[in-house]
Amino acid sequence: MNIYVLMKRTFDTEEKITISGGKINEDGAEFIINPYDEYAIEEAIQVRDANGGEVTVVSVGTEEAEKQLRTALAMGADKAVLINTEDDVENGDQFTTAKILSEFLKDKDADLIIAGNVAIDGGSGQVGPRVAEILGISYVTTITKLDINGSSATVVRDVEGDSEVIETSLPLLVTAQQGLNEPRYPSLPGIMKAKKKPLDELELDDLDLDEDDVEAKTKTIEIYMPPKKEAGKVLEGELEDQVKELVKLLHTEAKVV
């Protein structure tokens, strides 16, 4: 089976966000594999181990994403591809990324493509379904279970807490929701092996794309921090009185109940 994973390098979830010069300040920040993409990588490895084949992890970004791609290889992926857009794309959006990824994937005959359902930085969740549509294959988003049987697949999709059991066939793109699996940590032998696994680097030129072909359709004009929340009122006294006061405050002062 020919399996591809779409991966993004993101800020660690425990990082505080600050802004300098109108941009998110990246100095000294820790970066990780987008947590939902970790589920995607883990699932791809499990599907390969059960069905045979190869897992290729692809990322669009800068050369800094090599570190996260190596981690994916250390987890057990077979190959990695970095599509380095540093010199060509300054302000891409989801149209940009999906166009680049689908251009890369169009002649790869992927049986299965797995992505995270959303990246925890931009949070739009568009790239997976966009890529599937451009490639002309079907997709299921926010999945919590995937069973592959020959060329058919049974998928459980999380729909705001409810579960849909969906039957479909390959080729297929799915996006991972939390609960799909428990991503493994790279083992020491895995890390050693990863150093020798192929990590190719491509640029737009290699995909026969021009900057104009991938020019964003939307633009960010401002980034700002939400107003800082003042610490509120911690109530005092007997517990029962505190509870009475709280209900009164919520009713009369905050007016939310």
Which tokens belong to 221?
């004009």
For another protein, which stretch binds (CB under 8 A), given 61-69, 76-84, 132-140, 185-193?
A: 132-140
Q: Residue 247, interface with another protein (CB under 8 A)?
A: yes
DSSP state string for 137-178 = -EEEEEEEEEEEETTEEEEEEEETTEEEEEEEESSEEEEE-T
AA letter at 227: P
Per-residue x/- mask for another protein, residues 182 to 221, rule CB under 8 A?
---------------------------------xxxxxxx
Among residues 2, 35, 190, 193, which is the contact residue for another protein, using CB under 8 A? 35
| Interface with another protein: number of residues (CB under 8 A) | 82
Per-residue x/- mask for another protein, residues 66 to 95, rule CB under 8 A?
---------------------------xxx
Length of the chain counted residue by residue: 257
Of the candidates 82, 49, 46, 23, the residue with the CA atom closest to the CA atom of residue 180: 46
Instruction: List phi, psi (to 5°) of 6.
Output: -95, 120
Nearer to another protein by Cβ, of 125 and 186: the residue is 125
- Shortest distance, position 160 Cβ to another protein, whole Å: 5
Nearer to another protein by Cβ, of 178 and 187: the residue is 178
| Dihedral over alpha carbons 69, 105, 84, 214 (to 10 degrees) | -140
Per-residue x/- mask for another protein, residues 216 to 245, rule CB under 8 A?
xxxxxxxxxxx--x-xxxxx---xx-xxx-
Nearer to another protein by Cβ, of 149 and 218: the residue is 218
Other Cβ atoms less than 10 A from the Cβ of 6: the count is 26
For another protein, which stretch binds (CB under 8 A), given 49-57, 70-78, 120-128, 200-208?
A: 120-128
Residues 135-174 interacting with another protein (rule: CB under 8 A): 138-142, 144, 154, 158-169
Nearer to another protein by Cβ, of 61 and 194: the residue is 61
DSSP state string for 63-129 = GGGHHHHHHHHHHT-SEEEEEE-TTT-SS--HHHHHHHHHHHHTTS--SEEEEES--TTT----HHH
Which tokens belong to 231?
């610490």
Among residues 54, 87, 149, 179, which is the contact residue for another protein, using CB under 8 A? 179
